[in-house]
Amino acid sequence: MATLSTKTLRDKYRSAQIEQALRNALIAEKVCLVDNTQLKTISSPYFTPVTTTIQAVVGTYTPSAFTTTDDTLTVADEAIVATHVFDFEQVTANFDLFFAANQAMTNSLIQAIDKWVLNELCEGGTGAYTTPAGGFTTSSNVVTILSNIISKVSGYQDALNGMYVVVENTDLTGIIQAQTNLAFSYADAAANNGFLTSLLGVEIYVARSGTFVDATETDVSGSKTWTNSGHRVGGIRKITTYAAPRGLRFEEKGVTGKTGMEVVGVGYLGFKVWTPRAGLTIDITLS
């Protein structure tokens, strides 16, 4: 029977924990297509739209020009977190410091990645909507906002993927009040079961306050520039692509001059709002 080393067991646990955390915690995984292949560049060329003409029967036509344009996603950023667990800390601790460090690093990574993807999503969407004064925090605005988002993306085949909106936790005061003020059955469900995650058929995802920000090539945005402070995002699910080649990985390594082990978590990131469907991602400006 094979005997597994302690590090092998840690790696197996770490892999399972990070995969579970990504699927449960990342809003990005729920609203975007996820590509975990080892491709640095994903190409999706699109062509100029063609127009169908309805006319009296004459049997003649005029061909239109047909050209293609390259549209590519490039993996150009990385998310990285590192710490060091000294041997004396591990020996004298009352709990497993490697477990605690892995949990803290996992949480840090998923928060940073989600923030990066959501801001890229908001930045790349060409659909636009400005809320009534008070935004989501004014309960009487919530149905109006969602109905406007629905109207902007309805009527397309892509709408069958489902609609969503991403808000911050401070927006919930108005959303919860709106839910409990709706029709009796819905209000009762919200009152009895707490915050419901959809309204008018629109899935509602909640990020922490400060997720949507302005940033220019910082340790939050990487190589990207965002102007998203005071914004939220919504639209059609699964029409944008978030690339994370091979997912997230951890390394343990000995460091010269230090006891114990250094632990590093790293993942590579790319994102694309594809041009032909960019209008189905709505940049929501709070008023």
Residue 134 domain flag: yes
The residue whose two tokens read 């632990």 is: 263
Residue 68 domain flag: yes
Look at residue 203 in the predicted model and tell me its pLDDT: 92
- Given a cut of 70, whether residue 35 has pLDDT beyond it is yes
Look at residue 209 in the predicted model and tell me its pLDDT: 94
What distance in Å separates the CA atoms of residue 201 and residue 77, rounded to the nearest whole number? Answer: 34
pLDDT digits (tens, 9 = 90+) for 157-194: 777 789 999 999 999 999 988 887 765 555 555 455 44
Residue 105 domain flag: yes
Residue 54 domain flag: no
Residue 122: which domain range? 6-49+61-285
- Given a cut of 60, whether residue 77 has pLDDT beyond it is yes
What secondary structure does DSSP assign to 20-50, as a single string?
A: HHHHHH-HHHHHSEEE-SS-SEEE--EE---
Mean pLDDT of 35-62: 90
Look at residue 4 in the predicted model and tell me its pLDDT: 45
- Start-to-end CA distance of the chain, whole Å, equals 65
Look at residue 185 in the predicted model and tell me its pLDDT: 53
Longest CA–CA separation in the chain, Å: 90
- Cβ-contact 96, 189 below 8 angstroms: no
Q: How far is CA 181 from the centre of its chain?
A: 30
The CATH number for 242's domain is 3.90.1690
- Which SS3 state, helix, strand or coil, does residue 255 take? coil
Residue 1 domain flag: no
Residue 172 domain flag: yes
What distance in Å separates the CA atoms of residue 179 and residue 67, rounded to the nearest whole number? Answer: 48
Look at residue 47 in the predicted model and tell me its pLDDT: 85
Top pLDDT among 158 and 46 is at 46
| Confidence tier at 25 by pLDDT (50, 70, 90) | low
Look at residue 79 in the predicted model and tell me its pLDDT: 93
Instruction: Please list, in sequence order, all residues whose beta carbon lies within 8 angstroms of the beta carbon of residue 260, skipping any fewer than 6 positions away.
Output: 84, 85, 86, 87, 88, 89, 90
Count up the domains in the chain and report the number: 1
| Confidence tier at 1 by pLDDT (50, 70, 90) | very low
pLDDT digits (tens, 9 = 90+) for 125-155: 999 999 999 999 999 999 999 999 999 999 8
pTM of the model: 0.83
Look at residue 196 in the predicted model and tell me its pLDDT: 64
- Cβ-contact 98, 59 below 8 angstroms: no
> Distances in Å between the alpha carbon of 116 and those of 33, 67, 72, 252?
15, 33, 18, 26
Look at residue 19 in the predicted model and tell me its pLDDT: 58
- Cβ-contact 265, 80 below 8 angstroms: yes
- Cβ-contact 99, 64 below 8 angstroms: no
Residue 55 domain flag: no
What distance in Å separates the CA atoms of residue 167 and residue 165, rounded to the nearest whole number? Answer: 6
- Which SS3 state, helix, strand or coil, does residue 245 take? coil
Amino acid at residue number 273: V
What distance in Å separates the CA atoms of residue 152 and residue 155, rounded to the nearest whole number? Answer: 9
Residue 229 domain flag: yes
What distance in Å separates the CA atoms of residue 42 and residue 71, rounded to the nearest whole number? Answer: 9
- Which SS3 state, helix, strand or coil, does residue 133 take? coil
Look at residue 84 in the predicted model and tell me its pLDDT: 85
What distance in Å separates the CA atoms of residue 130 and residue 282, rounded to the nearest whole number? Answer: 10
- Given a cut of 80, whether residue 5 has pLDDT beyond it is no
Mean pLDDT of 100-115: 84
